[in-house]
Structure 1
Amino acid sequence: MRTIGDWLHLHQRQRPAKEALVGVDGRRTYGELAERSWALGRGLRSLGAQPGSHIGVLAANTVYNAEMFFSIAASGGVYVAYNWRWTELELAEGIEETGAGIILVEEQFLPLLEGALEIYGRTHDQLPTVIVQGAQTDNLRQGSGPLLDPTTLDSPLCIIYTGGSTGKSKGVVLSHRAAVANAFNELVDCQLGSRPHERGLIVTPLFHSAGLLCWLVAHFVGGATSVLAPKFDAESLVDWVGREKITNTFMIPNMMRKMMDNGVLADPVFRQNLRALHTGAGLLRMPDKELFAEMLPGTDLYYRYGLTEAGPMVTRLRPEDMFDPEVDGSIGQEYFMAEVQLQDPDGRPTPVGDLGEICVRGPSLMTGYYGRPEQTAEALQDGWLRTGDVATQNDRGYYFFRDRLKEMIKTGGENVYAAEVEQALHMHPAVLEAAVVGVPDLKWDEEVRAAIVLRSEVAATQEELSTFLRTQLAGYKIPKQMVFLQPEELPRSAAGKLRKATLKQNLGWTSPDPAARTTKSETF
């Protein structure tokens, strides 16, 4: 197994003329990427960067950002991915927590960084060295030829912040070993980056593990081409896929549903080029899959489950699984280099069919949460990562996600898993998106409620949906109240994950006071 720096050397020798990176800001072959990374790595060392030094990056999905990642790896430093959607205060907190002595910033985000450093400077005498995209970065490059890689497989490679959908974001430290092991999982189990002429489109931000590790690093290790799209929208997606002959990409399920609902995925450009589409971080049920197969009959469909702390991938459904009715709604089986076990609160394996917490171990796991030893010890126990997700397993080894432990709803003494109710709602042909939450209730402790987005030009009522759910679920699991929203009214994180706490606040669903309740017929 090689470090990222070792892979730079290998590709520079074996495929120097092959295209490695494409973006709105240019193109780089593997030979150019290696030379530029080595030259900037020397410049970072001249600024005082040592093996293990934290170097912050504030940039979008661009060739510049990807080059910074590989340059920092070549220098022996640690790439700290800052979220450009943060506020100035959040960015200041991230800089303080990670202690980055150098920050590389894309020009468009310089005002955000300057505002954050103004806040940071109120309590610190010394500010980080800031290097701006363009002349400052180019002037920092020094020399030519290979740079000695000072890292080992267990050296820290990057710090990526969690999505923070259930609490404050935490910085996850991942090693070179973890990143490369995850890439091997992708190459072996999903053929991602391993096929001839593979060109993967990255639409998820590089400050999240999906974009950085599952696409950029996996394609890099496989010697394939990464195409970086700075934003996701239907028009630009069609353009990228057609112009760059994209063979694979990733979309979360709500992106897929929107593009199928408005007919964009039926555009001939996808049939002509796209050979695989990967999805995850949400629900995908048989009606969605059948519509996808109708629009793109020659495109393989993969579903994957993971989390940043796992490096990130844990389980996957491959194309041959997708239309098997026995595993519809499953998150699949474990990856090649991941071992999964469902455990009870005491760490004992649960029997087949019983609920248990998803626990995973293997070489792609995080080293820990940066600067948070207590939370690291809570998450990593006896070599297992306790994910905080609840699932069941069938006798064929397929896992079925039920919910986050923190999002389980307790109503009238019964446990209701929001994901189970959401999956049932997604089986109704009128439902495009569904979010189920527990709301404080004076009588039942919590009341099950749902926010629904309907497909375009399709109508449905709460009574109709409740009647449908009664054929799928026990009565106590059926939402007492439903509201109907527009797609843009579902608050999401930068990774596209639904923010349920924000949704509850927006709807006034945070109080047990009956006077604060939303009426059942209200539509937003």
Structure 2
Amino acid sequence: MRRNHGRRPRAAAVVADGHRLDHSQLAERAWSVANGLKNLGVRPGDTVAILCGNGTFSAETILGAITAGAIAAPLNWRWSAAELEHGLNDSQARVVLADGEFAPVARQLVESGRTAGVKALVAEGDQYDRFLGPATPPELRLDPAKPAVMLYTGGTTGASKGVLLSHTNVMANAFDEIIDTDMEPDDITLLIAPMYHSASLLCWFMPHLVIGACSVFMRRFDEEHAATLIESERVTNGFFIPNMVRRMVISGAWERRRTSSFKRLYVGGATFRLPDKEAVRAVLPSTRIYYQYGLTEAGPIVTRLRPEDMFKPELDGSIGQEMLLNDVSIQDEDGSDLPDSVPGEICVRGPNVMIGYFNRPEATAAAFRNGWLRTGDVASRRDGYFMFHDRLKDVIKTGGENVYSAEVEQALYTHPSVAEAAVMGVASAQWDEEVRAIVALKPGARVTERALQDHCRARLAGYKVPKRILFVPLDRIPVNPSGKIMKRELKEQNLWADAAVLG
């Protein structure tokens, strides 16, 4: 921030809902937040919780908390009151900074006495304006090994845990992104995913800040609004989860707007196969596509598939190669490296990998083995590229065979009528587990269960073909902000009347 304040003071830094801050203004706003926190008694290592949607408020408060030496903890505004209570207590938040939309629920919790560790709640508006301190850099020397942010994860599998990432972790990931995905100082990125999500905060906002580029915020995703912003702000790149990409293509929003400025499309978080890529190329022929794989604990990006490899048929389904500063290994259950083409757990180490889970030493110890972070994901390596298979927990054991649910989902996604698909195991007296699929079709599309089964049978071994396929409306498929289908929530919907879903 200090460097941008001096070198690019009048260059745009943040654009949101008609509000604009250049790099001089953003730095000074963040310094004011940092000094305001110091005046409230916040000391290095304290947690500052931030509850807000995307916008200038999120940018300046997160940066301000980090600049004060505190741990910035942007919390999930989609949480229920009970989940937010857990987050505030679990993070040991000392101060809460909340925007106008979410301040009421935070205030209700704080005033109820159920968040005893919170000493102050500062709400956007007059109170926030009075809280701000001098717009000068605070006199503080930061230790790069200390935590900078705490991001909560675990939304697809269970209770959320706070992931601690140091200043070094954050900067290492930024360097990886800038170098390996071709970011430039004159870039204008479109930020759609919430800033409590690691991809939005650490893979797009922070790297663009480091090089003095600009971030355009969307508070909530809307196809037409996204395309309008690309046109009006001359956006050069943006991160879209696959679900958003499909919605943009289906809606025709990209085609209705002038998108010649949009040079790079970043995709990640879920399956993105060749039919999706070809659909994008048909409407954005000059846009280069990058696919990224990662997890919050890794800081978050582990691998990337670059544009020059994107349309190679032999790499369809590949998550690419390791980022510049990462080491990636495919390991067996004992931690030994596996040879090419043999599936195993993706393990990663590097300067971007987390410090650990906040106040969870046992969970932290379980996440590492011999210095390697265990991702819980299965892949194999082939000719220097990683081929993703599945989450370890999503492997279906049917009739003595292992079926990777992601492999079946990928086969379903190659059908032109399928918008979203989730494959899971269902308890079966005959097979132990039975492969089944929940599918949402594209608007106006029609296809039968038998036709989809035949489509899969042409691409998969017979035991991998779903024995049952349930069709549901697209809005019945729960998706989290990272683009992952929430299978746990799908299972809780009890969609199968004849059997219990395992897991």
Could you state the TM-score of these two structures normalised by the residue count of structure 2? 0.97
User: How many positions carry a matched residue from both structures?
Assistant: 502
- The change in CA–CA distance for 1:450 and 1:78 in structure 2 (over 3 A counts) is same
Instruction: Report matched runs for 1:1-400 at 5 Å.
Output: 8-24=1-17, 26-118=19-111, 121-122=113-114, 124=116, 127-192=118-183, 194=184, 196-270=185-259, 272-394=260-382, 396-400=383-387
Indicate the SS of the match to 1:494: coil
Could you tell which deviates more after superposition, 436-445 or 47-56?
Answer: 436-445
Alignment of 1:474-493 (within 5 A): 474-493=461-480
Counterpart CA distance in 1 for 2:478 and 2:24 is: 42
Give the distance between the partners of 1:232 and 1:123, measured in 2 at CA: 31
User: Aligned with 1:457: secondary structure?
Assistant: coil
SS class of match (1:345):
coil
Q: Which amino acid aligns with 2:391?
A: R
Equivalent residues in 2 for 1:385-424, closer than 5 Å: 385-394=373-382, 396-424=383-411
Instruction: Specify the SS of the correspondent of 1:496.
Output: coil
Letter in 2 for 1:253: P
Q: Tell me the alpha carbon deviations over residues 267-292 of structure 1, each in whole angstroms, 9 at most, x when there is no partner.
A: 3422x221111101111111111121
Deviation of residue 310 (structure 1)?
0.3
SS at match of 1:351: coil
- Cα deviation, 1:323-366, whole Å, max 9, x if unaligned, reads 11110111111111111100001100011000110000000011
Work out the CA distance in 1 between the residues paired with 2:364 and 2:21: 38
Query: Amino acid of the residue matched to residue 370 of structure 2?
Result: D
**Structure 1 gap segments, 5+ residues each:** 1-7, 518-524
Superposed displacement of residue 472, structure 1: 1.0
Contact in 2 for aligned 1:358/1:387 (Cα 8 Å): yes
Shift of 1:378: 0.6
Q: CA deviation at 1:409?
A: 0.7
Partner SS for 1:349: coil
Partner of 1:521: none
Q: Which residue of 2 aligns with 1:464?
A: 451
TM-score w.r.t. the length of structure 1 is: 0.93
1:377-401 per-position Cα deviation (integer Å, ceiling 9, x unaligned): 011222210000001110x211111
Which moves more between the two structures, 397-406 or 38-47? Answer: 38-47
Amino acid corresponding to residue 380 of structure 2 in structure 1: T
C-alpha separation in 1, matches of 2:348 and 2:152: 20
SS of aligned partner of 1:246: coil
Look up the equivalent residue of 1:185 and give its one-letter code: D
Specify the SS of the correspondent of 2:88. Answer: helix
Q: Assess if the C-alpha contact under 8 Å between 2:330 and 2:344 holds in 1.
A: yes
Paired residue type of 1:428 = H
Could you say which residue in structure 2 is the equivalent of 1:3? none
Q: Give me the whole-angstrom Cα distance separating, in 2, the residues matched to 1:146 and 1:369.
A: 30
Structure 2 unaligned blocks of 5 or more: none
1:147 deviates by 2.3
Tell me the SS of whatever aligns to 1:101.
strand
User: Matched residues in 2 for 1:98 and 1:158: separation?
Assistant: 11
Q: Which moved more, 1:205-214 or 1:133-142?
A: 133-142
Describe the shift of the 1:466–1:123 C-alpha distance in structure 2 as closer, same or farther (beyond 3 A): closer
Question: Which whole-Å CA distance do the structure 1 matches of 2:154 and 2:175 have between them?
Answer: 24
Q: Which amino acid counterpart does residue 441 of structure 1 have in structure 2?
A: S
What is the root-mean-square deviation in Å for CA atoms of aligned residues?
Answer: 1.7
The answer (yes or no) to whether the contact 1:163–1:495 under 8 Å persists in 2 is no
Divergent runs of 4+, >3 A: 507-513
2:441 counterpart of 1:448: no
Could you say what secondary structure the match of 2:450 adopts? helix
Which stretch has the larger CA shift, 205-214 or 261-270?
261-270
Quick one: structure 1 residues 321 and 400, their matched pair in 2 at CA, closer, same or farther if it must change by over 3 Å? same
Distance 2:313 2:50 in 1: 44
Q: What displacement does 1:146 show?
A: 2.8
The letter for the 1-side match of 2:309 is: D
Distance in 2, matches of 1:294 and 1:481, equals 33
Distance 2:102 2:23 in 1: 27
- How far residue 123 of structure 1 moved from its aligned partner, in angstroms, is 7.4
Out of 422, 428, 431, the position equivalent to 2:415 is 428
Query: Alignment identity in percent?
Result: 44
